[in-house]
């Protein structure tokens, strides 16, 4: 597959929460690896998505939205986002066209001032605004930072995404193929499965359960000729949230489980039996023991 001019490199995607980073990642990878939610702060770890074609392999790193943290989990999320900035070949700073410039953008731009890598401004969700508004946005952001290029896209609709990929390929140097061509992420199976379950829990509970929710995979059991048995625990912070997650006579938990199971079966290419439990762990986001236990280890960054 590799040619003499094969290129490869690492590109990080940063931006305020909820600008569409995960939607973009899923679009370019062509399969679901990052969870999507209409709530801010869905992504908690850097998710590496691998896009490979005949010309290049691009490893995209989708970071948690850079924001002013309110708890230890927030500190961890911002730290891992900022730590990727000088270790990649290019940076995509993504904004939400419908929201426009905000104080959170300036917070990120201030951090980009010390970065020595090319920064592309990606104006996402252009399908939600009038072309005149897009022109005004480009003019406004041009004055705020010396961007390598400003590229408007719609990750959801796919508008201009191919152009962005061709620009990135041109930016990359010749390099090796780091991952097999059919590999789409570097994350272990357990991590992706836990993210699918967390996504469905967030989508189903809307505003009732905030992001004090984690998912731990307790067991994955494979036996030849049988469904894959998966047991997972949804962790929340308050007793009142437990009732919401379980629902009347277990209806909400069943709904979360059946929706997550569909994504997991697509990922694993096999039928799955998913057994979900719910556990209260008070104030886990501020306790390092639980952050570590649930897969958020600040000491690794």
* Among 230-234, 249-253, 257-261, 284-288, the least confident range: 284-288
Query: What are 91's strand-pairing partners?
Result: 12, 119
pLDDT of 296 over the 80 cut: no
More confident residue, 301 or 46: 46
pLDDT of residue 47: 61
For 240-287, give the DSSP string: HHHHHHH-GGGHHHHHHHHHHHHHHHHHHTS-EEEEEEEEE-TTGGG-
All CATH 3.40.50.300 domain ranges in the chain, comma separated? 7-171
Per residue in 159-202, pLDDT (tens digit) is: 999 999 999 999 999 999 988 887 877 667 777 788 888 888 88
pLDDT of residue 17: 77
* Three-state DSSP state, 125: coil
Q: How far is CA 187 from each of CA 21, 45, 203, 296, rounded to the nearest angstrom?
A: 17, 10, 22, 14
227 secondary structure, DSSP code: P
The model's confidence at residue 65, banded by pLDDT at 50, 70 and 90, is: low
Tell me, letter by letter, the H, E, C secondary structure of 30-52: CCCCCCCCCCCCCCCCCEEEEEE
Q: Are strands 56-62 and 119-124 parallel, antiparallel or unpaired?
A: unpaired
More confident residue, 184 or 137: 137
Query: What are 10's strand-pairing partners?
Result: 59
Segment 121-143 shows an average pLDDT of 94
Q: From edge to edge, which strands make up the β-sheet containing 7-15?
A: 47-52, 56-62, 7-15, 90-96, 119-124, 149-152
Cα–Cα distance measured from residue 137 to residue 247, given in angstroms and rounded to the nearest whole number: 44
In CATH, the architecture of 189-300 is 2-Layer Sandwich (3.30)
Within 8 A by CB and 6+ apart from 73, the residues are: 44, 285, 286, 291, 296
Segment 254-268 shows an average pLDDT of 88
Q: How far is CA 282 from each of CA 130, 186, 246, 279, rounded to the nearest angstrom?
A: 46, 31, 17, 10
CA angle 88, 90, 91 (to 5 degrees): 100
Class of domain 7-171: alpha beta
Cα–Cα distance measured from residue 181 to residue 179, given in angstroms and rounded to the nearest whole number: 6
pLDDT of 205 over the 50 cut: yes
pLDDT of residue 286: 59
pLDDT of 9 over the 70 cut: yes
Tell me what the pLDDT averaged over the chain comes to.
Answer: 81
* Three-state DSSP state, 24: helix
pLDDT of 49 over the 60 cut: yes
For the chain, give the percent of residues with pLDDT over 70: 77
* Among 36-40, 66-70, 282-286, the least confident range: 36-40
Q: What backbone phi and psi angles, to 5 degrees, belong to 71?
A: -155, 175
120: its two tokens: 């592309």
All CATH 3.30.300.20 domain ranges in the chain, comma separated? 189-300
32: its two tokens: 């679901």
pLDDT of residue 40: 44
The model's confidence at residue 116, banded by pLDDT at 50, 70 and 90, is: confident
For the chain, give the percent of residues with pLDDT over 90: 36
Per residue in 231-252, pLDDT (tens digit) is: 999 888 878 888 888 989 999 9
């Amino acid at each position: 597959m590799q040619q003499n001019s094969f290129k490869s490199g690492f590109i990080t995607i940063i931006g305020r929460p909820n600008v569409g980073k995960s939607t973009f990642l899923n679009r370019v990878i062509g399969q679901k690896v990052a969870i999507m939610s209409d709530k801010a702060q869905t992504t908690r770890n850097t998710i590496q998505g691998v896009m490979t074609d005949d010309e290049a392999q691009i490893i995209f790193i989708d970071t948690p939205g850079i924001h002013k943290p309110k708890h230890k989990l927030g500190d961890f999320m911002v730290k891992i986002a900022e730590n990727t900035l000088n270790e990649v070949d290019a940076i995509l700073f993504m904004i939400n066209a419908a929201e426009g410039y905000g104080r959170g953008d300036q917070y990120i731009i201030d951090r980009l001032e010390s970065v020595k890598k090319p920064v592309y401004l990606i104006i996402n969700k252009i399908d939600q605004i009038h072309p005149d508004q897009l022109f005004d946005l480009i003019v406004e952001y041009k004055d705020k930072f010396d961007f390598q290029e400003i590229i408007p896209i719609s990750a959801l609709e796919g508008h201009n995404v191919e152009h962005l990929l061709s620009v990135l390929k041109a930016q990359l140097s010749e390099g090796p193929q780091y991952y097999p061509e059919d590999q789409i992420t570097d994350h272990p199976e357990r991590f992706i499965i836990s993210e699918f379950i967390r996504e469905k829990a967030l989508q189903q509970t809307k505003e009732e359960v905030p992001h004090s929710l984690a998912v731990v995979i307790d067991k994955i059991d494979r036996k030849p000729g049988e469904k894959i048995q998966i047991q997972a625990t949804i962790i929340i912070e308050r007793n009142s949230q437990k009732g919401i997650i379980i629902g009347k006579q277990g209806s909400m938990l069943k709904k979360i489980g059946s929706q997550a199971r569909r994504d997991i079966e697509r990922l694993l290419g096999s039928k799955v039996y998913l057994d979900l439990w719910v556990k209260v762990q008070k104030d886990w986001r501020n306790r390092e023991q639980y952050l570590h236990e649930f897969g958020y280890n600040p000491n690794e960054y």
